[in-house]
Structure 1
């Protein structure tokens, strides 16, 4: 198959040759033919949702590109861990974002949006794809992607924003498209935009509900606006559109919960998930940090105590999880069965979910309910293919290939990327 990097270099070379041969004629406007990547993040979109609900734009995109049955999120199957793994190509044990609010032993501190965590470079390891691009002279525009508020060695995306949850989705679309109204040499070749809508709705309503259907239809319409905007600007044929979600969603009820303190003595364990703004709540997992005596006491009590709860010590977790970061990996990891939730007997459950919670994620990343969406269409993706599922750490390498970038070291597998792209990105 044709190597896309060599192809685009050849096109550029022929264009320069033609211009030099016609130097005696008036100069024509330079029109770039270099490839573009637009990555669209749809939080919480299950891969089966676009088959169950009205999603004509996403289905059409899949029909002209690549759509595996599922994409494996990293563990834990949470938003911060996965959108940052998509950006860096790294497992959480290497980029450090091991949960939405990781605790760091060396700092003795919990990451928080309220104390400036999204702008604090201490928490964000690795090299996001937009930094790779900017280092190699490729402009990037990033709208609300996790980790994009951080400066890396003095480098930022050409365009970036502090996250504003309330910014209307249509305004996000309009701004992204406005980037491509600039002169050709000022347009981004890497653009990314994030939408939380499906996740927000299905936490409250649950998957497989009419509310989920309405949310899917809404984000599908936003994707359609972006595609129409690129088409109107004459850019669609050289744009690789990549649709990703961070995780799926499992059906839960507040009644299917286990109070961990009724099974084990948790004294001596610091559990970040029980120490946040609302105190103990309902969680798919909790991470415990403490000395060996506290860890062993809790492990002995919890191991086998409830059929819906699994417990793991540091260094003894499944090999597919990859979140044992040296300063942030937990000493004890307690995980609920999908559909169940962990809590404490003194939890006040009237706080964040006063109307009840019917959808949750964070469970084992290889469970079917946690599967993430991937759709890729454009020059590097073969038409209408349905490859086997793959890990999301491979997306970074796809983008690097599409843009002709030399990638940073990642946890992705070039052989997997070659398979997904039909050899257009050679291993």
Structure 2
């Protein structure tokens, strides 16, 4: 069982907040027992661990000043979006939740994940996301665009969920999130989540840490500020824990740093999802290779020492921290390029003439792949900079704040205690 967290919330306040009259209609609409914690998780795709050091982001910085901003958050492998936002939601490594990349191939099903259809196909999504844990224990949740939130888990869903709309304006996203807290009492979320893609999108176009990325950070920061202001206007900020998470960092890929892997791999003997399907051949940070043992052995042997910025491992021989060797989806051979390098098949046409100048998916322990994290609210000490931690701990952190009995995860209660300076303890 968890140490009850609610008593701390009665005493906790944010510095600088002023009292607001009880006749404020927004406050009346959102009124609820003041000792019930709320968690709002904001996903900012591609926000690097050092983004707040490089760019102006006054609203995120204000949250960091009155809360915590760790040195960074270590993504799971590979350091891509689907894999990591779902690990954040479930507290599991990809070897257990099954989302081993943005479009996994499953040997048993003999098919690959295809967006948007597979987003609502429960066969692809294992584990128990935090919103399902909350719903099963009586707490309403509202989720906008989080990976896995479109799926039914044994009959359970969030109270509110929304199919992904990439072009939904950010202003509308903010308005909709705030409107959740104006609804009927029984539907007002105790856990809510919303996702913004812009920083990642611009990083791919221009490369890491460019002025254009700074503009994207500023845009998202402005909308985060509007969310904070809306919660304050509703009298909810004092009991809301705002957690900003990212999925990965970003590295710039110069045009002359490409490894043509097909000079060592016979593409007629193996299946590589990264050069198939909608994306086709491009410039990839990693390759998942599937094939018969003889073909895999030949490719593995040919790749050993073939290029100083490329490494390859057979199934069962990968580094311990990779943790994506799923029973039916883990590759027979995994090929990985160093940050700043990508891999492409020279003898195949490119699937798209557009090329990413910014790339992620490299080794998760490389600092360039580390993700940003900021959190503020009654669960967090003021103005601290904890050390690096793995993102599989976020599920346990939220469960503890909301006083939920967690599902089995890979998270570490000691990390939760360190992030909250002992305010939240799991036994």
The TM-score normalised by the length of structure 2 is 0.92
Residue number in structure 2 paired with 1:36? 38
Query: Post-superposition shift, 1:197?
Result: 0.5
C-alpha distance in 2 between matches for 1:186 and 1:164: 23
* Distance across 1 between alignment mates of 2:182 and 2:265: 60
Give the match for residue 7 of structure 1: 7
Query: Mind listing any 5+ residue stretches in structure 1 that lack a counterpart?
Result: 12-27
Secondary structure (helix, strand or coil) at the match of 1:289 reads: strand
* Regions of 4+ moved over 6 Å: 8-11
Instruction: Give the RMSD, CA atoms, in angstroms.
Output: 1.8
Shift of 1:253: 2.4
- 2:100 aligns with 98
Report if the CA contact (8 A) 1:394-1:416 is conserved: yes
Q: Counterparts in 2 of 1:271-420, with a 5 A limit? A: 271-349=272-350, 351-354=351-354, 356-420=355-419
1: distance between equivalents of 2:364 and 2:279? Answer: 26
Alignment partners' CA distance in 1, 2:280 and 2:54: 36
Query: What is the distance in 1 between the residues matched to 2:103 and 2:146?
Result: 16
Contact 2:76–2:364 under 8 Å retained in 1:
yes
Cα contact 1:89–1:397 (8 A) shared by 2: yes
TM-superposed CA distance for 1:406, in Å, is 0.5
CA distance in 1, matches of 2:6, 2:238: 18
Q: 1:157 maps to what in 2?
A: 158
Q: CA deviation at 1:347?
A: 3.5
1:187–1:353 distance in 2 versus 1, CA, 3 Å: farther
Match of 1:24 in 2: none
Contact 1:280 1:347 (8 Å CA) reproduced? yes
Quote the Cα distance in structure 2 between the aligned partners of 1:219 and 1:182: 25
Q: Deviations over 1:269-322 (max 9, x none)?
A: 110001121421110000001111000000000011100110000011111111
CA distance in 1, matches of 2:146, 2:240: 19
Deviations 1:127-173 (A, max 9, x none): 00000000000000000000000001111000001101111111011
Q: Structure 2 CA distance, aligned partners of 1:197 and 1:331?
A: 34
Cα separation, 2, equivalents of 1:281 and 1:9? 50
Tell me, in whole angstroms, the C-alpha distance in 2 between the residues paired with 1:245 and 1:400: 19
Deviations 1:200-228 (A, max 9, x none): 11101111211101100001001101000
- Greater mean deviation of Cα atoms: 411-420 or 181-190: 181-190
Q: CA deviation at 1:9?
A: 10
Deviation track 1:372-409 (CA, whole Å, cap 9, x = no partner) reads 01111111111111111000000001110111110000
CA displacement, residues 230-266 of structure 1 (integer Å, 9 cap, x when unaligned): 0010000000000000000001123211111113333
Where does residue 71 of structure 2 map in the other structure?
69
> Compared with structure 1, are the counterparts of its residues 236 and 352 closer, same or farther at alpha carbon in structure 2 (3 Å cutoff)?
farther
Report whether the alignment pairs 1:85 with 2:84.
no
- Give, in whole Å, the separation in 1 of the partners of 2:378 and 2:9: 14
Match of 1:18 in 2: none
Within 2, Cα distance between the matches of 1:347 and 1:234?
A: 58
Deviation at 1:31, TM superposition (A): 2.9
CA shift, 1:100, in A, is: 0.2
For the 8 Å contact 1:254–1:357, the answer to whether it is kept is no
Gap runs ≥5 in structure 2: 12-27
Output the TM-score relative to the length of structure 1.
0.92
What's 2:420 paired with? 421
Looking at structure 1, the residues matched to 262 and 209 of structure 2 have their Cα atoms a distance apart, in angstroms, of 32
Deviation at 1:4, TM superposition (A): 4.5
1:5 shift after superposition: 2.9
Map of 1:60 onto structure 2? 62
- 1:347 and 1:130 map into 2 onto residues whose CA distance is 43
Greater displacement, 200-209 / 34-43:
200-209
Give the Å deviation of 1:424. 1.3
User: Which residue number corresponds to residue 200 of structure 1?
Assistant: 201
Q: Counterparts of 1:31 and 1:150 in 2: how far apart (Å)?
A: 29
